[in-house]
Amino acid sequence: MMVHPYPLALTAIALVALAVAPHAQDMPSAAPSAKEASERPAWQAHGLKPQSPDSPFEEVVSGLYFRSKETQDMQADDFNNPGFLAVEQGEELWSKVDGAAGKSCASCHDAASTSMKGVAAAYPKWNGKLAKPVNLEQRIDICRTGALKAEPWAFGSPELTAMTAYIRNQSRGMPVAVKVDGPMTPWFERGKALYYQRNGQLDLACASCHEKNHGKYLRADFLSQGQSNGFPVYRLRDQRLVPLHERMEGCMQDVRATPFKPLSDEFLALETYVAWRGLGLPVETPAVRN
């Protein structure tokens, strides 16, 4: 008996991927039944007009409205939103003295509710000393190794993710306002190229799902525009808060590609471009997603 050279699971995924393969967006799809249509999230009524004429979208929509009503309600209720456990941890860390300098974040920045209001909405941001942009996680560790003279927190650690969520939460409701001009332009262009670059055995790009096929089902998942305004997000599937670069890493693994490393220049450029695609969307951290 001949043994198929690929695992059955991979074969199934490859077949499903045909739904978002090249030119799939031009293929007619069967009209949903009344029951299916009633179960689909009503995302069309929640968009914003793009702030840039170069936006690929007619309307910019948060991933929140591609999720079920139950998930939306969970995010809206601060008591039931499980991401707030990390926000509370970040609040404790904000005032905790750490490092040889004998300082805490509050020593320099006082109350985060005032000093951090609107700050996270502008990241990634150009850092003149490093001559490159940094994202919020990197900015936190720059403060730790500099002002606090403390050890940096590792990417994905509970501490760094909690502090990132806490600082971003201070900008909740404020519009994403990342700058992509001046020295940021080459990074923006690099991120754009990466967004449209096909990767992996499934030969898919970010745009294959989140631009050409958002609002459609891929297996049991209802595809969103892939906006980043809610990160770090509490993923119900993982039962924890997930930072943006980890989610990007997971997407690349899903298409059977070798992912870039978190906080790499590649993911930093991609984060910059994705943030630009969501200009004007309100910061939702901590968002709740599938």
* β-pair partners for 134: 125
Instruction: Name the token pair of 196.
Output: 């449209």
Please provide residue 43's backbone torsions phi and psi, each rounded to the nearest 5 degrees.
Answer: -85, -20
10-residue mean pLDDT profile of the chain (290 residues): values are 42 42 42 55 90 96 96 97 98 98 98 98 98 98 98 98 98 98 98 98 97 91 96 97 98 97 98 98 97
What pLDDT is attached to residue 29?
45
Q: How many CB atoms lie within 10 A of CB 29?
A: 10
The DSSP code sequence of 125-147 is EEETTTTEEE-HHHHHHHHHHTT
Which residue among the candidates 105, 143, 209, 251 is catalytic per the annotation?
A: 251
CA 109 centroid distance within chain? 26
Instruction: Name the token pair of 158.
Output: 């509970």
Q: Shortest CA distance to 94 belongs to which of 78, 77, 106, 110?
A: 106
Instruction: Name the token pair of 80.
Output: 């039931």
What's the topology of domain 58-80+175-289?
Cytochrome Bc1 Complex; Chain D, domain 2 (1.10.760)
Considering the segment(s) 84-169 as one domain, its CATH architecture is Orthogonal Bundle (1.10)
What pLDDT is attached to residue 33?
53
Q: Say what angle helices 265-277 and 185-195 make with each other, to 10 degrees.
A: 90
Q: pTM of the full predicted structure?
A: 0.87
Distance CA 140, CA 159 (A): 11
Please provide residue 235's backbone torsions phi and psi, each rounded to the nearest 5 degrees.
Answer: -95, 120
Residue type at 226 in one-letter notation: G
What pLDDT is attached to residue 36?
53
What pLDDT is attached to residue 5?
43
**Residue 81 in 3-state DSSP?**
coil
CATH 1.10.760.10 maps onto the chain at 58-80+175-289, 84-169
Q: Is 143 part of the annotated catalytic residue set?
A: no
Instruction: Name the token pair of 219.
Output: 């297996």
CB 185, CB 132: distance < 8 Å: no
What pLDDT is attached to residue 13?
44
Rg of the chain's alpha carbons, rounded to an integer? 20
Q: Shortest CA distance to 74 belongs to which of 86, 87, 64?
A: 64
List CB contacts of 5: < 8 A, sequence separation 6 or more: none
What pLDDT is attached to residue 27?
35
What pLDDT is attached to residue 221?
84
